[in-house]
Copies of this chain bind each other. A is one copy, B any other.
C-alpha cells in the first residue's frame, strides 16, 4: 500500500483546518463591524478602528504564513492530485487564489486600509450629516490612494488588463470593465426605452399614497411579517437572524447568524419594507449555503453579482409583484389600521412600481436603478487610473446625474456622498448591483420553466417553492463555480441582460398600461 494518498489527505486536511480558523475569525470580525454600525457608543469608534485594523492584520498573517504555501505546493504537486474530487480541487484553487493575492499585499497596507475604513466611514457619516464634501474629501483621498496601491499589486497577481479590473475581480471574479461597458451600454438603451414608454403613458400611478404616515413601531411589526414570509426567522427561539436600524441598510453574517438592518421613515413605509425584502434576500442566501461546506472556501457565495441577484429578486421580482401584494396587502391593512383602507390593491401595487428618475440610488425604481450604477461605474473607471481627482467628484457626479437621470443634485449628501461604498474603500463593487439585476432576470426566466405556477403560489403566501428553487440552483452551489460558469449551468446561456429588460417591460406595461 502506498502512503502517498494518505499524505495528500493529511495535507489537505491541515490546509482546511487553517482555513477554518481564518474563516471563523473573519466571521467574528463581521460581528465587530456590525456592532460598529448598530450599537457602538460614539466615543468607541477610534478604538473600534484599531480593533478592525488588528483583526485584518492577524487574518492577513494567517492566510499568508509560509505553512499555507508549503501545504498548497505539496497538494498541487502531489502525484495523486488528480484523484481529489471536484469540491476539494475547488477549495485548493480558492485558497491558492487568496494566498497569491494576499501574499502580494504588504501587511502594513492591509492594516492601514482597515483603519482608514473605520475612520473614513465615521467622517463620511459626519460629512453627510453636514452636507460638506470638503470634510470627507481628504479621507476619501487617503482611501483611494490605499486602494490604488492594492489595485496595482493585484493586477499583477490576477493578470487583469487594468488596476480597476483587479478591483472588480474581487467582487465578481473574471469580470472586467471592458465587458461591463459593453453590457451597460446596451442595457442603458433598453432601460431608457422603457423609461420613455412609462413617462409617455397617460396612465400614471400615484406614488404619493406611499407617503401616508406609518408609526415606527408598526413598521417594525411589518418588517417581522415580511421576514416571516421569506423564511428569514428573527423571532423564534431558533432564529438565526435579527433586524436592526442603521442609516444605510446592510446584511452581514454567516450561516446560523445572519443579520440585516433597515431604516424607518415615518412617511415612507415602503422604503423600509423593500429594504427588509432586499437584505432578507441576501440573508437567506447566506443562511442556506450547504451546511457541510461550512468553514470551507466553497461554503460561501459565488460572487457579489449573484448575491445581489438574490436580494433584487426577493425585493423586486417577488416583493413588487401583484401576487405578493395579493397575499400581503390584507396583512398590511390589518397592521396599519385605516391608513390604506380606501386604497385598492392595484393602485397600491402600481404605486410601489412607479418609475421616476431620482437622486438617491437606494430609493430608485427598477427601471432607473441601473442608470445610478452606470454613473458610478463610469466615474470609477476614470478615478482609479487617476484621470479625475477626488476633489472633482461632486461636479462630475452632478453633471452625470443631470445628463442620465435629468435630476439636479442640490447638495453632496444627496449626491456623491449618498453611498457608504467609497468610504469603505469598495471601488469596483457598484457594477455588481446591475449585474445582480441582470442575473436575477435570467434566473427568473429559468425558474418560470420549472415552476410555471409560481405567481399563483406567491399570491397564496407560499414562497417555499420559489425559495427552494433558488436554494438548490444558487445557494447550495456555494462558491463551487465562477459566476459565468454558474450562470451557464443554471440557465444554459451566457450572461444576458435581455431577460431583465423583458421582465421589466412586461411589468411596466401593466403598471403604465402601455
Contact = CB atoms under 8 A, between A and B. Distances in A.
Interface of A: 21, 24-25, 27-28, 31-32, 35, 39-44, 46-48, 50-51, 53-55, 57-58, 62, 234, 236-242, 253-257, 259
Given A46-B256, A47-B257, A255-B47, A28 B54 contact: yes
Contacts of A240: 41-44
Q: How many copies does the complex hold?
A: 2
B39 A27 contact: no
A19 to B, nearest CB: 12
Nearest to A52: B28
A254 B47 contact: yes
A237 B240 CA distance: 31
A270 to B, nearest CB: 26
Nearest to A30: B51
Nearest to A46: B256
Given A234-B41, A240-B44, A50 B35 contact: no
Contacts of A241: 41
Contacts of A256: 41, 43-44, 46-47
A301 to B, nearest CB: 17
Nearest to A295: B50
Contacts of A257: 40-41, 43-44, 47-48
Contacts of A35: 31, 35
Given A48-B257, A54-B21, A257-B48, A32 B43 contact: no
A24 B51 contact: yes
B238 A42 contact: yes
Contact of A41 (B32, B43, B239): B239
Contacts of A24: 47, 50-51, 53-54
